[in-house]
Amino acid sequence: MKFSVLQFPGSNSDQDCVHAVLALGHQAEYLWHRQTSVGDCEAILIPGGFSYGDYLRAGAVARHSPILSAVIEFARAGGLVLGICNGFQILCEAGLLPGALVRNRGRTFRCEHVFLRAENRTSPFTCAVPEARTLKIPIAHGEGCYVAEPSTIADLERHGQVLWRYTDADGRVSDEANPNGSLANIAGIGNREANVAGLMPHPERACEPLAGSDDGKYWLESMIRTVTASQPNGA
Amino acid sequence: MEPELTDDLLASHGLTPEEYERIRDLLGRSPTFCELGIFSVMWSEHCSYKNTKPLLRQFSGRSPRVLIGAGEENAGVVDIGDRLAVAFKIESHNHPSAVEPFQGAATGVGGILRDIFTMGARPVCIANSLRFGPLDSPRNQRLLQGVVAGIGHYGNCFGAPTVAGEVYFDPCYDGNPLVNAFALGVLRHEQIARGAAQGVGNPVFYVGPPTGRDGLAGAAFASQDLSEESATQQRNSVQVGDPFMEKLLLEACLELLATGAVTGIQDMGAAGLTCSTCETAARGKSGIEIELDRVPQRSPDMTPYEILLSESQERMLLIIHRGREAEVKTVFDKWNLPWAEIGAVTDTGQLVVRHRGEVVADLPAQALADEAPVYTRTGRRPAELERHWSLTLDRVPFSEPPETALLKLLAWPSIASKNWIYRQYDYTVRNACVLYPGSDAAVVRIKRDSLPEVTAEAPASFPEKFLGLTLDGNARLVRLDPYRGSMLAVAEAARNLACSGAHPIGVTDNLNFGNPHDPEIFWQIQESVKGIAEACAFFGAPVTGGNVSLYNQNPVGAIDPTPVIAMVGLIADEAAITSQWFKDENDAVLLLGELSDPRDSLQGLGGSAYLQVSDQLSSGRPPPVDLEREKRVADALRGWIESGIVKSAHDCSEGGLAVALSECCISRQSGRNTPQLLGTRIELEPCEGVRAEAMLFGESNPRIVITVEKRFVPKVLGQAEILDLPIREIGATGGDRLAIRYGQETYSWDVTTLHHTWWTAIERQLQPS
């Protein structure tokens, strides 16, 4: 399967995404921000980094780039799009996902391995996660506190759009387990149609045991399983 | 208008009247004001090493692995096999960080990263060495917070993981914080880029953001004592870093280098345009002519002096093969970065600068870059050393009993966990770091995407490689014995690498000292350099470059002599990567090395953390160093690691055996709020005349705590006997207490308490009580 990884000026996890895709034995290609078409890819990853230097707000400039119009079109046609860290911020700025990401509670940048629970194991981004598994994934962000109107949060919960929540090592949701102050411990969400998702943690940096965890592979495997199943001759 | 050249003007440029005469002799005339500015930065200590050059010749850069040695280019380059190489270097940004901690530290990181990609390498990790005054002062708290935020800001945004570092807190750094930044990059042998201006008529390009008035003459500022006056002057012109620009500059430079259009490349760091043009011309044995009117500028009315000496960040000088100018335009337009053709290479040997049709400087490039005056100063051993070396144990009060002393040591910020610091650094970006901050050395993997080119094509033409990286420098030991203390810093670095499974391949050092005009300080520099040079040669770790930072003193006093050793090592394979923490219950705990050194009347307590914390004594002669034994211990340890039987290895340094054992019990971290604690029961045989405090907290060396499965103990002990190495089984892992029995006494601590004390110490100090 072929993933496309967007490259904005200031993307810095683009190579990490490609590394993860290749490590799992699939293909990847880069899409430069000035390109106007997503080509023949089957899923899109919007990587972390500081697109356009995070001028204005994180992700605010990237949403106006030519490639993003093509990504929006790809998503409207049902294509799978996953935004990671800065990619999540871009998806929120572009209106593909509700809510916003603001400065961490505690004000400082935070890098550590956190624990996550996949809340809805039927989405194209979570369907390969084993039951009751607590996922260990690194975070590295200064603006990862997820906020939205109470009605938006209620909507997300009602429609199973909260895909990942910060938990402790045993899978329990608690304030202590929340690294950035996100509402309802939300680490990532999907859209109503379930083909666009974003999260602050970096699954692409946890795809090999050598990296301290390989739980990140479930993100890519879920997407691969979904795309393969939808193909006419797919298994 | 030309200002009059008075002694005051010379002094404000850091030049002596004698140096001015030398300039007049060289030119056969008086320099213009602009030329004076150029001389002042090129002949500053920061650029010319005029006070330390004769000493630095002692460093051996000899090793078959060294591709680019010290002083040749912007950073040393060392072969790591399969036609791959690493470029690495450390550099100080002490004075700017004292004045403006956030920007000072951030631009320090930016500067060292440029040194690395100027060599054609892709930076894959960064590290730092920091020193601050005690954290009970709000000013020092602000400095720590500002410096850490600045380093994080730059590295995190640029996208290079900050994987290692070391931090000490001591009153001698009150008002003199130290910020040393290290970076390492990867490239193929054939990708090494040169900073030489060659080929008469080749165009000279300026790339990067426009030049402003920031950081005017920062190199001269860094080459004098720090005073309130000099700090105020500099505050108005502090450099501002933009890591986003640097990231674009990196990608654009690597992309352009790959085209083959570039013949020379040099970053604009200290002394900006001046230094980069002089150095490239001097290296190329050529000349350069530039026109300042073509240099992109932020303000309309900048003087030639300002344009030449500005330290605006994220700029590069490129020498391009004539006829290939269009490729610069294509690549830099793609990355949306300003570029300008500002001049050309000549064969005159002169640096000629024009501004509005007039020649404002016409100077011999070689003389500027290489013929700065060299001073051979004489050192004098500080009188206070006699007093320190005469300390005997009967004069130590031993006011802290072992039970509470260990807790105090673990809460002492220099020993406490540095997680409050490194959690603000992205150490996961680039998927490179495989042994995270918190062990003896960081381990970084070199893989397909570590190379300069960005490609999504799958196959790598080489097997993944693993590098160990450590930074070390215990300044208290260096003050108490500069020669021995400096050797100990190198020995500790080598030991840390051995504990992670790595073989040393190279060193970059940062020599932070006070004012060299003080004979006692010059003596510290002399002795320290000698110690480093001897020890590095002994370990076969060539010094491939580094940085000298002098004048780290303010009216209150000078810093303790603080040489920082950054050592890079190569690990045989993935299986040999070893961490410091205990892994499983019921493993045997062995101590490699002697329990106590019979040659040392202070039993390892001279200059120790214990004396400092328990008795506020920063005194005594540091423990003896035995390089021969260090090497044999390290070789044996690596042998066992490579044969697959060592589960953990941790060396004893500050705080001795008790702190090392504590760290083995408490430093394993599975994730947020999830320490993996594991106790141990230790029995130490009685040593005639050795006090419990010395046994627990003495810092004699080399000593390494290792764990192996119990079934391997006879094999390890047997091999050690053949190798004539001291080793003993001292206990086993298990339970939830650290219990150490020595003679009739047993000292015991709950590992949860030890962990909490150690893990939260810095954060607790930063919170207003």
The CATH number of whichever domain residue B300 belongs to comes to 3.90.650.10
B158, A12: Cβ pair inside 8 Å?
A: yes
pLDDT recorded at residue B726: 96
pLDDT recorded at residue A235: 42
B672, A114: Cβ pair inside 8 Å?
A: yes
Assigned domain for B769 exists: yes
pLDDT recorded at residue B768: 65
- Output the CATH code of domain A2-230: 3.40.50.880
* pLDDT above 90: residue B331: yes
Interface mutation target, options B245, B251, B421, B428, chain A, most CBs of A under 10 Å: B428
Q: Which residues of A fall within a CB distance of 8 Å from B243?
A: 50, 53
What percent of chain B is modeled with pLDDT above 70? 96
Alpha helices by DSSP H, listed for B680-750, are 692-697, 713-722
Chain A: residue nearest B163 by CA? A111
Assigned domain for B263 exists: yes
* Closest of B294, B292, B290 to residue B307, by C-alpha: B292
Q: Give B103-150 pLDDT, tens digit per residue.
A: 999 999 999 999 999 999 999 999 999 999 999 999 999 999 999 999
* pLDDT above 70: residue B230: no
B247, A10: Cβ pair inside 8 Å?
A: yes
Residue B391 one-letter amino acid: L
Q: Give B615-648 pLDDT, tens digit per residue.
A: 999 999 999 999 999 999 999 999 999 999 999 9
* Closest of B563, B533, B522 to residue B377, by C-alpha: B522
Nearest-Cα distance to chain B for A179, in Å, is: 8
B431, A168: Cβ pair inside 8 Å?
A: no
* pLDDT above 90: residue B515: yes
From CA B581, how far away is CA B667, in angstroms rounded? 6
A211, B434: Cβ pair inside 8 Å?
A: yes
Secondary structure, 3-state, B70-107? CCCCCCEEEEEECCEEEEEEEEECHHHHHHCHHHHHHH
Residue B742 falls in which region: left (phi positive, over 0), alpha (psi -120 to 50) or beta: beta
* pLDDT above 70: residue B152: yes
- Calculate the CA dihedral of residues B407, B413, B416, B421 and round it to 10 degrees: 150
Nearest-Cα distance to chain B for A152, in Å, is: 28
Q: Is the peptide bond before B702 cis (omega within 30 degrees of 0)?
A: yes
The residue from B350, B371, B392 where one domain ends is: B371
Q: Give A8-26 pLDDT, tens digit per residue.
A: 999 999 999 999 999 999 9
Buried b (16+ CB within 10 A) or exposed e, A107-127: eebbbbbbbbbbbbbebbbbb
The reply to whether A204 touches chain B by the CB within 8 Å rule is yes
Assigned domain for B432 exists: no
Please name the helix (run of DSSP H) or strand (run of DSSP E) that holds residue B341, with its range, or none: strand B339-346
pLDDT recorded at residue B3: 74
What ipTM did this prediction achieve?
0.96
pLDDT recorded at residue B83: 95
Assigned domain for B442 exists: no
| HSE-up of residue A181 (Cα within 13 Å, Cβ side) | 18
Q: Which residues of A fall within a CB distance of 8 Å from B450?
A: none
A52, B244: Cβ pair inside 8 Å?
A: yes
B670, A136: Cβ pair inside 8 Å?
A: yes
The reply to whether A39 touches chain B by the CB within 8 Å rule is no
Average pLDDT taken over every residue of chain B: 94
Confidence band, pLDDT 50/70/90 cuts, at residue B597: very high
Q: Give B245-262 pLDDT, tens digit per residue.
A: 999 999 999 999 999 999
Q: What angle do CA B502, B507, B510 make, to 5 degrees?
A: 135
Q: Nearest CB to A16: which of B156, B431, B670? A: B431
Q: Which residues of B fall within a CB distance of 8 Å from A205?
A: 428-429, 431
The residue from B332, B355, B371 where one domain ends is: B371
Among candidate residues B13, B46, B650, B755, the one labeled active-site is B46
Q: Within chain A, which residues score under 50 in pLDDT?
A: 234-235
Q: Residue B125 is encoded by which pair of tokens?
A: 């990790």
pLDDT recorded at residue B218: 59
Confidence band, pLDDT 50/70/90 cuts, at residue B6: confident
The reply to whether A205 touches chain B by the CB within 8 Å rule is yes
The reply to whether A187 touches chain B by the CB within 8 Å rule is no
Confidence band, pLDDT 50/70/90 cuts, at residue B213: confident
Interface mutation target, options B144, B247, B423, B431, chain A, most CBs of A under 10 Å: B431
Q: Give B647-699 pLDDT, tens digit per residue.
A: 999 999 999 999 999 999 999 999 999 999 999 999 999 999 999 999 999 99
Whether B46 sits among the annotated catalytic residues: the reply is yes
pLDDT recorded at residue B562: 98
Residues comprising chain A, all counted: 235
Structural domain span for residue B674: 578-769
pLDDT recorded at residue B92: 96
Q: Residue B466 is encoded by which pair of tokens?
A: 């693993």
pLDDT recorded at residue B61: 81
Q: Give B723-741 pLDDT, tens digit per residue.
A: 999 999 999 999 999 999 9
B671, A15: Cβ pair inside 8 Å?
A: no
Domain count, chain B: 2
The reply to whether A2 touches chain B by the CB within 8 Å rule is no
Just list the catalytic residues of A: 85, 202, 204
Q: Give B267-283 pLDDT, tens digit per residue.
A: 998 778 999 999 999 99
The reply to whether A74 touches chain B by the CB within 8 Å rule is no
Residues comprising chain B, all counted: 769
Nearest-Cα distance to chain B for A151, in Å, is: 30
Q: Give B63-104 pLDDT, tens digit per residue.
A: 999 999 998 999 999 999 999 999 999 999 999 999 999 999
The reply to whether A67 touches chain B by the CB within 8 Å rule is no
Counted across chains A and B, CB pairs separated by less than 8 A come out at 121
B673, A177: Cβ pair inside 8 Å?
A: yes
Residue A54 falls in which region: left (phi positive, over 0), alpha (psi -120 to 50) or beta: left
Among candidate residues B93, B95, B503, B755, the one labeled active-site is B93
pLDDT recorded at residue A234: 45
* pLDDT above 60: residue B1: no
pLDDT recorded at residue A62: 81
Residues whose CB is less than 8 angstroms from the CB of residue B301 and which lie 6 or more positions away in sequence, other chains included: none
A27, B445: Cβ pair inside 8 Å?
A: no
pLDDT recorded at residue A170: 97
Could you tell me whether strands B316-320 and B203-207 are parallel, antiparallel, or unpaired per DSSP bridges?
antiparallel
pLDDT recorded at residue B214: 80
The reply to whether A41 touches chain B by the CB within 8 Å rule is no
What one-character DSSP code corresponds to residue B391?
A: -
A12, B445: Cβ pair inside 8 Å?
A: no
pLDDT recorded at residue B461: 79
From CA A141, how far away is CA A137, in angstroms rounded? 13
Alpha helices by DSSP H, listed for B667-760, are 692-697, 713-722, 751-759
Confidence band, pLDDT 50/70/90 cuts, at residue B236: low
* Closest of B486, B460, B461, B459 to residue B473, by C-alpha: B486
From CA B354, how far away is CA B363, in angstroms rounded? 12
